[in-house]
Each structure stands twice: as structure tokens, then as C-alpha cells.
Structure 1
Amino acid sequence: MTVTMPAPLRPGDLLIDFSMMRMTAADAVKAKAAHARGIIRYSAGAASSPRHPSYKLNAGKLITPGEFRALLADGFDIVANDEWYTTRVTEGTSAGAVDGAVAGALWHTCGLARGAVIIPSWDASPSRLRWPAVRSYLAAYQKELDQFGYHAGLYGGTPVVNRMVAVGAARTGWRANAGDWSNDGLPYQPDTSTPAKRAALVAAALKVTKAHLWQTGNYWFGQQADENLVLRAPLGSHCDAVRAAHPPVTPPKKPTPAPAPAPAPAPAHVAVTELVDATGRWSWSTDTNGNLVKKHDGVVVQTLP
């Protein structure tokens, strides 16, 4: 199956994320008509493995290879999110290691391109006391992602997202919709209905958050899906990673044609004799080829070899 690569995501674009919902062909048409450019889908850390005791509780929200291919075929880009339970990322190194290994393996099986980002979620109030544990979790998570060529991000409130992006613990930041986790002044459920309104929201957000995505609080499909606004790009989506690995080839410039040579100067004539009679001035000269040139009043009237 040949899939046409969608255009790159840009600030002001809309994405939606959902867990238990599965997008039908009709849903895809509606989403694209409402200007959705991409889909954010889920793994569930260690519980993504069928061997895990919590797998059955989380299986309904997990991305599958078939769904991954279908979303691409429908023209959507894909962003990877990893969420088991709300505070999992505060459990430090050992949790980060097992979650990174299992989530990375699932996304790799689905076909997520090397170079893409997987974004673990801190879906709770981001207490500063837990930040060191979160940073340890992300470091261990990243170490496991290295085998797949992926990068770790972070979903959470603006303060912790800003910190983890600033120190390099998270490649991509995703600002949660809960305003009291962020206290950054961004509105809840803003009007995103036009490009101009989305551009104004992006401009405001860039002043207060280092996040690449903002979960706005707006709902789609009867509250089954959340709306997200792209703030910065590239953000580590599947198609971002594909483009980075296979940049477009710029055709070589056509060589500039050499200028045509200047025409050769007219042969020089050397006067050998000249006379004037009643009819005018006559002269004889030889040109550079040795021909005898006869002129009357400066006009050539005869050339003899």
C-alpha cells in the first residue's frame, strides 16, 4: 500500500488524542473537515505487554499496527503518547526503564519511524517535590528508547514541562489542559475555529510555555477525543521523523550556459594607394587575408584574391 506523506505539521495546526475511541472512515472524514492534521495515540508503559497483569485493563486504549497503518492511509500524521496511570512518571528509574523498553517495543512494532518522540504522561498536579524522580524516570526511559532510535517527551503542567525541556530530559513538551497545573494564563477551551484565532493563541502560548503541544480542553466526537494545538514544530511526530531520515532531494541546478563568443572584428584594411578624380575618392588596400580591396568613397566595390 502506497501512502502519501501529509504536509508537515506547523504551529496553529490541530491534532486530536483519544484512548478508547477507534476512528472509523466516517470519523476520519469529519476530523479532516474540522481541520485535524494528526492523531495522538497511546501505549501504556509496562502494561502494554500482553504478559503484564494490567494488560487487560489497558488493552482497549493501545495503538495497534493495523490502526497505525489506517491512520496514515487516511492522511493523518501520528504522535506517540505513553500513559499507564496518572503518576507513573514519578516512580523514578526502575519504572522508567521497564516502561521505556515495553512502550518502545510496541511503537516499533507499529512502524513508528526512528527519530520520533514518545511522550510519557504526568496526568496530575506537578508537585516540585517529585521533579527529581520524574527526571530520573525520563533518563531511564530514554536509555531504553535508544535501542529503537526514539526520544522521550513529557505531558504535564507548564512548570514541569518547561523544566524538563530546558534541561534536555524531554525532547517534546505537551501542555496538559488542566489550567491549575500550569498557572500560565492560557485559557481553557479557547476558540480555535479559524486560522487567525489559532495563530493568536500560539503567539500567547509561546510567551509562557516551552511546550510543542497544548491540550486546549476542547472536545471532539462527543468528548471521546481531546483537541490539541501545535505550538512548535517539528515536534517529533512519525512523519517528522520520516522526513528527517529522508530529506527531499534538491535537483541540481542547471549549469549557466557560457556566453556566446563575441563576433570577430571586421578585417582590418591597410591602404596601399589612393587617388582622387572627378568621380570621387578611390583607394586600394589589402585585408588580413591578403585580398586586394577596391573602394570608392569608402564603399567596397571590388575584392580580388
Structure 2
Amino acid sequence: MAKNSIDVYGAKSKSNLMGFDPDELVLVTDETHPLYDSRVHLPLDENMVRNIDYQGVIQPIEVCKNVETGAIEVVTGRQRVKNAREANRRRRERGEPIRLIQGFVRKLKPSERAKALSTAMASENAIRQQETPISRAAKMAQQVAYGRSDEELETIFGCKMVTIHASLKLLECCQAVQDAVECGSINVTHALKLADIPPAEQRAKVQELVAAGEGSTGHERARKQRAVLAGEQQTRMKTRRKIEAELAQATGERAAALRWVLGMEEAQAADSTDDARAAA
């Protein structure tokens, strides 16, 4: 006799997941409805469409039944539903079976229902922790080890191979560099520039980068850290107007050098050649 699944897995309880055709689910667009979310109007995500086409929707959605209309409305998972519809359109064109979406319904008292569903809808993405560059790179390395093709890797992670190769290069950095990326002390671009130098130099350089970025954020921190990687403060190219202003005050070799930068000596030489030809 088959065992109860709760006993097999040691679970405390279980609930039923139902398979839905995404085209039969209702996405609420009425702004006065408790389940309305402006993200319902976001455009399709090609990477998500390809991923769903490849392996289906992995994470179940939440639905509820509108007792007035009988419609099955989406509480959480709008983007999964929208992109699954497009993936299924393409699968139908190819003569392939559609992808169903697994969904669940929470048992709620009528007095709690509207408030609880709107709260779940609002908090689903608000408190979700974003994946770090290093953890994503580790997952990519794992899929490479499984023998995934380039096309499969692009579909699974929703990016091009150039991005995947760059992410994998992060794993070639020493632990100190990876830790700095994980906590946001340095960005991925700067970390990748350290990947090709010896580990001891990586550790020394990442300390300089972290120290340079302390007390600053955003573009300012990135600029200071770029200067460290360059070995000296990066200087901007001077404009032609500034060079001409300096030329007006310069003499001797400096003036000659500035004229050469501006291409004035070549122009003067060309004029002299033209004059000589005219005289001949």
C-alpha cells in the first residue's frame, strides 16, 4: 500500500497545486479592484518567454476565484502568466503541447480575503532578495559542468554568452575579491580587471579599491576606484580651445609641441609646398 506523501517527506501538512492554462486566467486591469497592480501593464520579457518555453513555469502562482463573476484571478505571478501565454502561442505554432502553470489557493475567511490577498500581492516582490553576481556565477558554472550548450545557457539565465563568460571569470578571482563583490564594496567591472593578476596582487589591490571607495557611493566611488586601477588619477583630454590658449602664452619647444598637437606645423608645411609649386 502506498504511503501518504506527508509521511514520505516528513511534512506537517499539504495543499493541492492545480494546473492552469494561462490563457484562462484573468489578469486584473481595473484600477479600482483590490488585486490591481500597475505591473500588469509591463511589456513581455523575451528572456522569460524563452525560459518558460524551454522548461515551463517553475514557481507556482497564487490565484483566487471571483465569487461574483466566477473568474479565476491572478493574485501573484502576473509576469509568469503573461510570458507563459506568449510561450504557449509559439509552442502551438510549432505543434507542441502548451505549458500549464501550477497555482494554489489559500483558505481564507471572507472577512480576511481582500486584505490578505492585496498584502500578498504587494509584498511578493518588495521583500524578495536579489541574487548576487557571485551566486549567479556559481550557478552558471554548475550548469556548464552539466554539459549545457551555449543556447541552453542563454535560455536558462536570460543573457548572452559574453555575459556568462564574464560572470564565470569572477570565479577566477581570489576569495577577497569575491567577498568585496558580494558585499557591494566593488563592482563587477573592477573585479574582472583583477582576475588576470596573481592572487597576492589581487588581495592588495582590492584593499586599495575598498579604501578608495569608503565614504562615497555611486559614480563618485566608481570614479575613485577607477583611478586606483589606473595607477594614477585619470586626466581628461584638453579641448582645442584650451590648447590654443596655452599656445598663445608658450614659447620655444613648448610652443612647437603645442603647434604639433594642433597639426599647425603640418598645415604650414603644406602651405609652403603649395606656394613653391605656384611660384614654379
TM bucket (normalised to shorter chain) is under 0.3
More helix by share: 2
**Structure number with higher relative contact order (C-alpha < 8 Å, ≥ 6 residues apart):** 1
Q: Which has the larger radius of gyration?
A: 1
More strand by share: 1
How high is the TM-score relative to the length of structure 2? 0.22
